[in-house]
Structure 1
Amino acid sequence: MNGDALRPVHPALTIGELARRTGLTVKTVRFYSDQGIVSPADRTPAGHRRYGADAVARLDLVRTLRELGLGLPEIRQVLGRERALSEVAAAHAAALDVRIRVLRLRQAVLRTVAARGATTEELTLVHRLARLTEDERGRLVGEFLAAVFGAAAVSGGGAASGAGAGSGVEGRWGGVATSLTPRLPEQPSDEQVEAWVELALLAGDDGFRELLRTLAEDEAAEAAPGAPPRPGLAVLVRETVGPAVAAGVEPGSAEAARVVAALLERYAGLVGTAGAGEQLRARPVDPSVDPPVERLVDRLVRRLRAMADPRRERYLELLAVVNGWVAPESSGEVLDWAVRAVQAVQVARAAEVTAGGEAGPGSW
């Protein structure tokens, strides 16, 4: 018996057989072999490589690690036991987290651009907004809120500070500014990233800033100096008009006119003009009443129109998404109804004045 017969027999796999067992190409197996990732167990007298059964398991691991994105240097360290697999996996998972955030931002940019039909200039702006750091987002929001509430804070008894931490707004409007501050979480969802981009674009719109500034200044003007906070117009409209809208009352009906009279009476109390509701219901109409009730109605219509601007509600919807809040209840239908109902009363009263104070049939 010769010595060769005493050697243990190991299955010897050709490079083609190894490729078939691992699902890799012969070219790939040869590359890994040349790189020292998997070494042949032996060679034939003609120089052809032969691999042991352990090469299959080794290449299966290599293939898995490559599909997970690890590079050859890391794989070589794992196979050589220079680094623990758990350590490499943790480092790579962290790197993937960064990559995923970048991809989410890119996706948000593309979706926003597609939805808005954006120009090339807007694409650049949207991309910049999506890539802002937390500090940069804070400065952008702080500048926006300071621009909106700065003048209103002064007229309302407060003072606007510089755009530092938070909103940069103090005094009467500090709490309001805080409630309007978006805070994108460290690990935002796709929806939150897209909402942030749209919200940031809206916050940078000069027309929207002017709208909010006007609303804030009007509300500040309606607040009695030194008096404790009281419900504003938004609350009055919801409480007075909401039931009529829910009941399906038509804005131009006599019932709607009574709702408007009640709303105007409450609004007159808010701005310090008593008796407006009685004047609105008076018969015959007396246009010489001082101050004219029409002036208060005009003011109410202007306020309601501003509050009903869809950009205002859209900002609140986006804010809820970014901050992870429950979606706010829409006030659009109630505000729209209030505008139409008050305008219908205006038209009816103008017609009565023209007719000499005679009420038309069904006008109330």
Structure 2
Amino acid sequence: MTDAGDGTWSIGELAGRAGVTVKTVRYYSERGLLPEAGRSGGGHRRYGPGALVRLREIRSLRALGLGVPAVARALEDDGRLADVVAGELRDVARERAALAWRETSLRLLAECDGAERAELLPLLGASALPPETDAVVRFWRRSLPVRLPSALVARVLDEVVPVPPDDPSPGQVRAFALLHGLVSDPRPARAPGPPLRGERYRAAVLYEGLEEAYDLAGAEVLAGRPPGGRGVLDCFAGAYARALGEPDSPTFRRRLVELLGREETTVMARYWKLAVPLLPPERPPLGLLHHHLTEALAELPAAA
């Protein structure tokens, strides 16, 4: 099937060697994916062995699910091939996660009773699969001070916004659906307020101090101890005192306990109840740490 004169093949000969149709060869040729060795006297394309190698590469990549534009990018050079394959792997991971969420969502609907099914059905269809966290981020951004440094905001969001797992349990699918419904409620009172509503304070000082207190409390929890040691409580109360420009005293702590008690909302209690099973187990949730520290601070004066 090789032309004896110059060692090249016609489009039909290349198609026969590759086991594809002439239409397939012409399709990839017209898109610049197959190198031509030249033209015949009549102006017809001629192909060399390199075109056969390239055609087999194209067929392999297409069989792996790559579209023609991705194939074109992949064949530019070896480095680009690695980049394209890495991108395809990310796409496959997203597709697998989406399929896992769809399967688990359907299983959850099949297994729950009628009342729960009626509650979950509109929520499960309200977001993409896997679910996006944009609404949760907006919920928290509404609650944070406007002038809080962006780096500190990012650290807060990293701690409080759950990341959808790739292979969720039915309980996690249920929690994410209910959480999305909670944070998407349009009523203005649904967002948490500032830590000390009605008080004038330096927000960055407060949040940076609380970050340190939560780190200390989290370390105690991971060590198997209650997160209410004297040093942790001093750090916790001191963050509020410094932010408000007041000395940390028994009188201040009594007022602080009253302020924090008034800030306990059913919305935030509900948020953390839903978010806890969705957050990494190696990082104690900030909401629970805050609750335990507030309770420990309230008990401390009575025990003193």
The two structures have a TM-score, normalised by structure 1, of 0.40
The two structures have a TM-score, normalised by structure 2, of 0.45
